[in-house]
Structures are given as C-alpha cells and as structure tokens.
Structure 1
Amino acid sequence: MTAPTTTAPILRVDGDRLWRSLMELAEIGAYDDERTGLRGVNRLALTDADAAGRRLVIGWMREAGLTVRVDRMGNIYGRREGADPDARPVLTGSHIDSVATAGAFDGCLGVLGGIEVVRTLNDLGITTRRPLEVAVFTEEEGTRFGTDMLGSAVAAGRITLGRAHALTDRDGVALGAELTRTGFDGTACERLDPPHAYVECHIEQGPVLARAGVDIGVVTGVQGISWQEITLHGRAAHAGTTPTELRADAGLAAARIVTHLRAMVESGAYGELRATVGHMAVHPGLTNIVPARAELTVDLRNPDDAAMARAEEDLLSHVRALEGEQPGLTASVRRMARTAAVPFDEEVQKAVARAADDHGLAHVSLLSGAGHDAQEIAALCPTAMVFVRGEYDGISHNPREYSNPEACAHGVDVLATTLLRLAEPVPGAATDAVPRS
C-alpha cells in the first residue's frame, strides 16, 4: 500500500475524555496491591471482571454509534460505516484482559483510544470513505489459558477455533465453557476478513522512549516468543534420612534449569535472547520432604528466529541431560505458544511517523519486546503500531504501570490522524483539528 500524504487533516482527540474512560475501566477488577501500596487491576480473560469490562466497552461503542458484533472466539468489533460500503475497513484495537497484577493502560489504551477516535470523528462530522472498526481481542495476555494473543491468532487463522475453545486454565476450566458462561460466545465468524490496514496504539512497556526524551515510538515489528511448560518428576523422600546420591530431587532440577537459562542469555551465543521463568512450583511443598514434582514455565524472546530455534534446542538438551544426572528423574516439555518474529509494514510505519511529525511530536523507531495482537493481524493486512511513553522506565504488568494523560493523548492523536488518513476522509467533510481541551 502507499502511505497517505501529509495533505490529509490532523486530528486531536479529547484527552480528558480519553483519560476518564481509562480510569473508569480501571475500576473494574481493581484491587489494592500490598507490595506497592497502589491500586492495581486484576482482570484475567473471561472472568467476571473481564466480562464486566467488556460490557462497559460495548456500551461505549454503541454510544459512539458503532455497530457491535461478537464472534465465536469472543472477539468484539465495533464498526463505523464509511461512504463506500464495499471498501475494506481500517482496523484498530487491542485487548482489555490483564495479568493478575496489572495497571490501567496495557491493551486498554488501544481499545479506548480507538473509541475516542470514533468520538472525535463524530464530533467533527467527518465521514470516511472506508469503514473504521475497533477490536477487542480475547485473551491477549495468555495468563489464564496459556496462549498469548489467542483471540487475534484465531481471527488471523493461525490457531483453530476448536483448539482455542479446548484450552483450559489451571483449574481445568475450558475457554469455550467460559465464553458461554459469560455470554460472549458470539455468532459471527471467527476468521477476520483482511482489513485494508491495522494500526494499534499501545504503551511501550519499556524505557526506550523516556530515556530518549521522545513522545512516540514507531514500531518496526515484534520479536519472536516461545513459551514452554516443563514438568519434572522425581521421588518424594525424607529430607533427613535420604542420602544425597540416592535422591531424585525435582526441585534441584528446576533450579538447574533456571540457572542454565541465565547462562544461555549471558553467553551471547543466542543473539538478543531474553529468558524468564515466570512460574515455578514444587510438590508436595513441605519443608522436610524432597520434592517429588516441579513445574515451571519458560518464556523465551528473540528478534532472530534462527537464534531462537537454537536456544529452544539447547534448553531441551539441558532438560534431557538432567534426567541422566539423577536416577529416577524424568521430564516432560510442552510448548504452550510459539510465534515468529514479525516485521511491520514500512508504508504504515511511514504513515505513523508522518502523523507524529505533523503533530510536532518527536519519535523514534523501535522493535517491540512484548507480544501484541498486531503481530497476528499482520498476517492479514499492512500493520504497524504507535508506542506511548511510560513513566518509571516503562514498567508494566505491575500496578506502577503509568503513562500520564498528556502522553496518552499524544499517542491517540497520532493514532487518530493515521487512521483518518488510511480511511480517507470524504472530500468536503469537516476536517479541522480539535484543539486540546
């Protein structure tokens, strides 16, 4: 596609209205975090809190005049019609599900920013040639059902609906059953027809923008992600009477995996590898018993797919070697998720950069270290992202996550201008910029 020219209009959204929406949604699933003393958000996918948040967002979509549909994966789409009903829509959005210790902005800024763009177009009476759609994708975090970007992956066809519905949480509850229970088992087809373009606004979740002293990130792509679940089976034994050489200690093996992953990262042999063990549990979990079983998850990130594959092979080889070091120790490895590195469309990146320039906002290009729905939708259409600067080195997945009102408004200004240009304002329609309130 060809990037829009800079002769198209500049849009400024109502930053105060956007902020009020963010803060109201943050009250759903809110909790008081004892570690930070701050108000956090716990809105895991398809819990009652997530369902309440979804209903609030749907209400805002309808108030903005959007026609809402829910697909069989629970993905929500709000559509603003264009002058050409046959034109492919310009899509924006993100997610509102969270991790258990979240802030108010991750995913939510993209969804509520999209709705704010529609409100601004309505306020100005602007008609676009192409329809504009705002999406809320199901289970982006992957925290509950073990596969991240799940709703968008189904929409893009990488994961089948049946496989997604069969996924279970740690309590054995199936995603399909939770869609039914919460009332989000929609009837629309889960496969998304290719849009004209997709642009997602998101907090950076990192320190690059703040340290560079710039407002906007033009995202060049997303690095590869690999999630593994490792279960180690040892043998329970008395902590005082069992000689060390006779033990099959699953907890020791788990610790060896953690230290090996750190050594892999520090070796430099796998490029810009990052490795995290985010969950680890030993059983029976008693002070005086050698652990009989250990479970841990491994999160690998790498912008180089070949280096990622080598890291995965190294990890598996290490696990197999551990089996031979302790008689009676066995291990199983299950891949939870795997996505390749995804480059974003250069022309859409240019459109974002031009919008930032036209708003007088400094910007840099950067690769995303986190996964986003945009990487899935990139399989369907030209795609890019707008990153918004965060405070406190961009900390995220934490109640300290914070992007100030001005930063959020700047990001959504760039989103609004980019979307309008991609959707092509109808000649003669009102296109003056909305002054910042």
Structure 2
Amino acid sequence: MTETDRGSNLAINGERLWDSLMRMAEIGALPGGGCRRLGLTPEDSAGRALLVGWARENGYGVARDRIGNLFIRRPGTRPELAPVMMGSHLDTVVTGGRFDGVLGVLGGLEVLRTLDDAGIATERTLELVVWTNEEGARFAPGNAGAFAFAGKYTLEQALAHADADGTRIGDALEALHELGLEPVGGRPIEACFELHVEQGPYLERAGIPVGIVTGTYTVRYFNLTIAGEASHLAQPLTDRRDALVGMAEAILAIRRVGAAHGEQGRSNASWVKVFPNVRGTVAETVQMSCDVRHADPEVARAMAADLHASIEDASRRTGIAMTLDPFHQFGPVHFDAGLVDLLRRTARSRGHRCQDILTVAGHDAIALAPIAPTAMIFVPSAAGLSHNEREYTDPAACAAGTDVLLHAVLAKAGRD
C-alpha cells in the first residue's frame, strides 16, 4: 500500500471517540444528562486529569503554561518547524452539555490516536490544546487562556480576573496545581483548527453534516446598571423607584432591538444581579449583562446605537436611572482563507456534504485568528440546543467532523 493510499483510507475510530466523550461526561454529570465543570473548579481539573491520563497512556508530551492552558504534544520528525494546533475547552456553563468544547478536545485526541494506529509520523509537531476558562461562567469574560496566549491580555491581567467571590484565576490555578511553567504565547504556529458543535439550528435544518466556519458575527457586549431606591413593600406603587421594574422594561427593550433586525439579528439579556434581593423590599439596584449580534458589521453597530437609545427611552419612561457601558466585543473575524478552502476540499474529498457558515458565538479560535492561520469546523446541534443539558450531536456527526479535522491537520503537518 502506498503512502497516498494509506492516507486516503485513513479513518478515525468513531466508537472510540464516542466512548471518550461519554467518559468525560461522567465528570460533573448532572441529573438531566448534561455536565457542570465550571472553569478552574475541581470538576474542570478532573476532566483535564482524565485527558492527561489518556495522553500519557499514548506516550504524548504534556505541558502547561502560566495561564493554565494545557498542551498535549505528539512530536514531529522536524521539531524545528512550527506546530499544527487543534483543540477547544473542557469547562462548561452551569447547565452545560456533553459536547460544547469537549468534542474539539476529544476529536483532537482521536486524531492523534488514529495516526498512532496507522503508524503515520508527521513532520510538524501536533499540539492538542485545552484552553483555560473559555466559557467565562465563573471568571468573566471568557476565553481568558486563549486571549492571554494571543496577547490581548497580559498574563497579569488574565491571572487577576476574579469570580463573584473574589477568587482570582491565578489563585484557582495554584489551588488546583494547574499553573504551568511555560511562557504564554509568543511562538510561531503553522495552523490552528477548532472543531465545535454549531450551537444553532441551521446545519441540522439543512441536513448538512459539516459546517465550514468562514468567520464570525459582530458582537458587542454591555453592562447595564439600573439604579432604583430600596423601600418597604408598604410604599405605594406610584412612589416607588423599583429597579426590577426598570429591569423588566430594559429586557423587553433589548429583545425588541434584536427582533427589529431580521433573522440574523440577536440581542440578549443573560445575567442579572439584584440588590438587596430580599423578600419584602423593593429592589435598589440591578446589574445586567446584555449584547447585540449581527452578521453584518454595519447592522451590528446600528443595533448597538439602537440599544443605547432604547435604554435611554426606558429610563425616561420609568424615571429610573439606567447606565449602559461597553464590556467586551469581537468581530467581524475572518478565518484564514487558505485553511477555510482546505477544510472545504477535505470535507468534499471525504464524502461529507458541507456548507459555509458564520459563528454567532465566541470561541477560542477567535482569539487565535489575529496571530496564526486559524479555521473552525462545525457539526450539527440537535434542535440547535446548547448550554443546555439536552445538548446533543449524534455519533455520526461527531465522527464526520473529526474525520475532516484529521485529514486537514495531516495536510498541514505533512507526513514524514
């Protein structure tokens, strides 16, 4: 059998991939079938430990950097060449599923195992990465490890991100023994690939097993502070300045902004903190997060302006002060055209129907795109559900996405 024949016949072990996904899902398992492994908690660390155990069984190198990014390395025959990188995250939201982030990590592990099974050496080293705190469910904002690697945050800034209890990322890394010695970023990378579930309904609706992610929506995040006045519930309704009433008006205004901009418009209110949040007392303050998103950057900017105007109008109507401040933003990000085309050609050559798609959500790949050629592969999410215990991507779709990842990575890494 020639090397070309061996490469064309190379296929991942879908059953082994699925078994790995289900094993990982046992860590932080929830009653509804999902997972809770908040970033840099014991559950998150246990998931990493399971992966490290598998890596060491296969003889791969294991390293961590100073923000806790975890690197699983299969050495190439030409170590002086820049590596090919793939990966995602193992942390979840509070009611997470079994596939978000995890498929990109364990799909990458399956790529390494498949090459071992076939006895194929690559010229370039392959690096499977678990990025620290992608979700931001505990430490906001998310993607801390990837953004620090890419230089958007200094290491000191990333380590200083704190959770609601005041625990810093640096403290959590030390407590879990996840704080590594390697420098953060600052090195060449040949290519970065991230396999991920879509987290939306479009691939499933189209009956397409593989999405080729060409870029991102434009996303603008804000913090909204609503300042009312605490009082007893005995206070007449007309005399109250109830921050929760202001919140209700604001949430409806946020929803209207997204609805006014068509199928591609998104607007969200997703986190709320109420003070003093006790029975018998009118709320004094509400803190909220909200965002607007659109595929067209100009429309996204218009939506942000509409959001400001809508919040100002809600404040005037209720007589309750509302302050909207920018928090975080990304997009539009365009993934590397050469890698995108490679993924298209790879999917088709492997017999997988595919279509181009934009990501609405944030991902680690977005952080990496400014510093290295980067691209993403999507596979369908049943009913579009994600960040939900019922999140599901069937075994065939998981295998198809990983198959595309395998052959794209091999094309960039080069057989020895």
The C-alpha deviation readout for 1:117-162, integer Å capped at 9, x for no partner, is: 1111111111111111110001111111111222111111112211
8 Å Cα contact 2:258/2:303 also seen in 1: no
User: For 1:281 and 1:186, how far apart are their aligned partners in 2?
Assistant: 34
Moved more, 45-54 or 170-179: 170-179
- Residue identity opposite 1:365 in structure 2: D
User: For 1:192 and 1:208, how far apart are their aligned partners in 2?
Assistant: 37
- Counterpart of 1:185 in structure 2 is 179
Q: Which runs of 5+ in 2 are unaligned?
A: none
User: For 1:425 and 1:208, how far apart are their aligned partners in 2?
Assistant: 35
- Counterpart of 1:424 in structure 2 is 414
- Counterpart of 1:315 in structure 2 is 307
Q: 1:335 to 1:64 in 2, by over 3 A?
A: farther
- Residue identity opposite 1:257 in structure 2: A
8 Å Cα contact 1:198/1:374 also seen in 2: yes
8 Å Cα contact 2:209/2:400 also seen in 1: yes
SS of 1:72 mapped into structure 2: coil
Q: 1:225 to 1:21 in 2, by over 3 A?
A: same
- Counterpart of 2:260 in structure 1 is 267
8 Å Cα contact 1:10/1:358 also seen in 2: no
Q: Quote how far apart the aligned CAs of 1:63 are.
A: 2.0
SS of 2:34 mapped into structure 1: strand
In the superposition, the TM-score normalised over structure 2's length comes to 0.93
Q: Which runs of 5+ in 1 are unaligned?
A: 33-37, 427-437
RCO greater where, 1 or 2, for CA within 8 Å and sep 6 or more? Answer: 1
User: For 2:186 and 2:199, how far apart are their aligned partners in 1?
Assistant: 28
User: For 1:221 and 1:177, how far apart are their aligned partners in 2?
Assistant: 34
Q: Quote how far apart the aligned CAs of 1:314 are.
A: 3.4
User: For 1:351 and 1:6, how far apart are their aligned partners in 2?
Assistant: 19
Q: Quote how far apart the aligned CAs of 1:79 are.
A: 1.5
- Counterpart of 1:248 in structure 2 is 241
For residues 57-76 of structure 1, what are the structure 2 equivalents within 5 Å? 57-76=51-70
User: For 1:403 and 1:185, how far apart are their aligned partners in 2?
Assistant: 32
Moved more, 255-264 or 311-320: 311-320
Q: 1:243 to 1:104 in 2, by over 3 A?
A: closer
Does residue 300 of structure 2 align to residue 344 of structure 1? Answer: no
Does residue 16 of structure 2 align to residue 17 of structure 1? Answer: yes
User: For 2:10 and 2:345, how far apart are their aligned partners in 1?
Assistant: 13
Q: Quote how far apart the aligned CAs of 1:109 are.
A: 0.6
Q: 1:334 to 1:73 in 2, by over 3 A?
A: farther
Among candidates 386, 396, 409, match of residue 396 of structure 1: 386
Does residue 363 of structure 2 align to residue 372 of structure 1? Answer: yes
Q: Quote how far apart the aligned CAs of 1:266 are.
A: 2.4
User: For 1:157 and 1:320, how far apart are their aligned partners in 2?
Assistant: 35
8 Å Cα contact 1:199/1:383 also seen in 2: yes
8 Å Cα contact 2:161/2:168 also seen in 1: yes
For residues 28-177 of structure 1, what are the structure 2 equivalents within 5 Å? 28-32=27-31, 38-177=32-171
User: For 1:46 and 1:79, how far apart are their aligned partners in 2?
Assistant: 22
User: For 1:122 and 1:344, how far apart are their aligned partners in 2?
Assistant: 29
- Counterpart of 1:280 in structure 2 is 272
- Counterpart of 1:194 in structure 2 is 188
The C-alpha deviation readout for 1:15-50, integer Å capped at 9, x for no partner, is: 111111111111111121xxxxx3210000001100
User: For 2:137 and 2:328, how far apart are their aligned partners in 1?
Assistant: 12
Does residue 204 of structure 2 align to residue 210 of structure 1? Answer: yes
8 Å Cα contact 2:227/2:322 also seen in 1: yes
User: For 1:298 and 1:65, how far apart are their aligned partners in 2?
Assistant: 45
Q: Quote how far apart the aligned CAs of 1:353 are.
A: 1.5
SS of 1:40 mapped into structure 2: coil
Among candidates 364, 368, 375, match of residue 384 of structure 1: 375
In the superposition, the TM-score normalised over structure 1's length comes to 0.89
